[in-house]
Amino acid sequence: MIHLNLYNNRKRMKKILVIGACGQIGTELVLALRTRFGQDNVVAADVKPEATDALKSGPYKQLDALDKENVRAYIIDNQINEVYLLAALLSATAEKNPDFAWKLNMEGLFTILDLAKEGHIQKIFWPSSIAVFGPTTPRDLTPQYTVMEPTTVYGISKQAGERWCEYYYNKFGVDVRSIRYPGLISYTSLPGGGTTDYAVDIFYNAKKSGKYTSFLNSESALPMMYMEDAIRATIELMEATKEEVKIRSSYNLAGISFTPATLAEAIQKHLPDFTIDYAPDFRQAIADSWPNSIDDSAAANDWHWKLKFDLEAMVKIMLENVDISKLEN
């Protein structure tokens, strides 16, 4: 009897693993999850040998998302019941290394989906992206269900991943949940290799030198979101009941849509001498294939999603908090 109770208690306890924890989303997600579920119940895992300073507050495990046997053994041996799988190459980096991007973005996902199918994991979060859309998608207020013909390696991998998530839910009852993140803006850790990174770089350069050369042209409108909203959305989706989660591919999230020119103007309200110029590179074509703005009414209806940070609030927080010494590291 005592044994049974102990077993039940252990079963009920959340034991969370965040794979790709040292990245832009992972760092803040781990900290938010630790606050909510306890330091020791949230393991940060990344391919890096050691935890970054921000993640030293709790357990860390070096784990390569592609090392299937190690990932399986760690999850099974440590009775992990929830996994956030964030390890991926983003859009710009993936274009430079398509084979590896496809391998990392897909194989890592199958390892986790299969563990859930076998009953080792109860719940999975896997991020998708606005990159699942393409040039034939309606660009304004892009609907949840629409034409999806992504033209980037990253977008193709995210769209395929969405299909597999839904398939594992339908066929095997795997409780997998996902959000199509817009470009994410944060100051805790730098983004790595995305097309939307200009909207973070701009703050570091505004503070450091008062000027910025944008790799997207002045009128490239893209959906973006302040990280605190993105983390809250992620946790709210994961805490929603199974019945509330009606979409098992991935939910649209709108965020705030703006162009580099509009962002520069918002920065100039705080730093009047700030200047911007434009030198579009290969990332312009990627941005041109993505939506200007997103319709996220499904998330609002199903699990009551509501955005908190608008452009002005986000700009103020970023200017107050970006630490330019990070650029030298």
Q: Which residues of the shown chain bind ligand SER in the complex (CB under 6 A)?
A: 90-91, 129-131, 154, 181, 183, 194-196
Measured from the CB of residue 203, what is the shortest distance to ligand SER in angstroms?
16
CA–CA gap between residue 54 and residue 25 (Å, rounded): 12
Q: Are 202 and 213 contacting, i.e. CB atoms less than 8 angstroms apart?
A: no
CA–CA gap between residue 170 and residue 163 (Å, rounded): 11
Rounded to 5 degrees, what angle do the CA atoms 22, 26, 32 make?
Answer: 125
CA–CA gap between residue 81 and residue 115 (Å, rounded): 10
Measured from the CB atom, is 88 or 322 closer to ligand SER? Answer: 88
Name the residue with the smallest CB distance to ligand SER.
194
Torsion on CA atoms 154, 155, 159, 162, rounded to nearest 10: 60
Contacts of 246 (CB under 8 A, 6+ apart): 298, 302
Measured from the CB atom, is 82 or 197 closer to ligand SER? Answer: 197
Measured from the CB atom, is 26 or 194 closer to ligand SER? Answer: 194
Active site residues: 154
Measured from the CB of residue 128, what is the shortest distance to ligand SER in angstroms?
8
| DSSP per position, 50-91 | S--GGGTTS-EEE--TT-HHHHHHHHHHTT--EEEE-----H
Torsion on CA atoms 248, 174, 23, 106, rounded to nearest 10: -90
CA–CA gap between residue 319 and residue 199 (Å, rounded): 12
Measured from the CB atom, is 24 or 81 closer to ligand SER? Answer: 24
Measured from the CB atom, is 116 or 247 closer to ligand SER? Answer: 247
Measured from the CB atom, is 74 or 84 closer to ligand SER? Answer: 84
Measured from the CB of residue 216, what is the shortest distance to ligand SER in angstroms?
10
Measured from the CB of residue 20, what is the shortest distance to ligand SER in angstroms?
13
- β-pairing, 222-226 vs 256-258, is antiparallel
Measured from the CB of residue 209, what is the shortest distance to ligand SER in angstroms?
24
Measured from the CB of residue 238, what is the shortest distance to ligand SER in angstroms?
19
Closest CA to 294 of 131, 84, 158: 131
- How big is the chain, counted in residues? 329
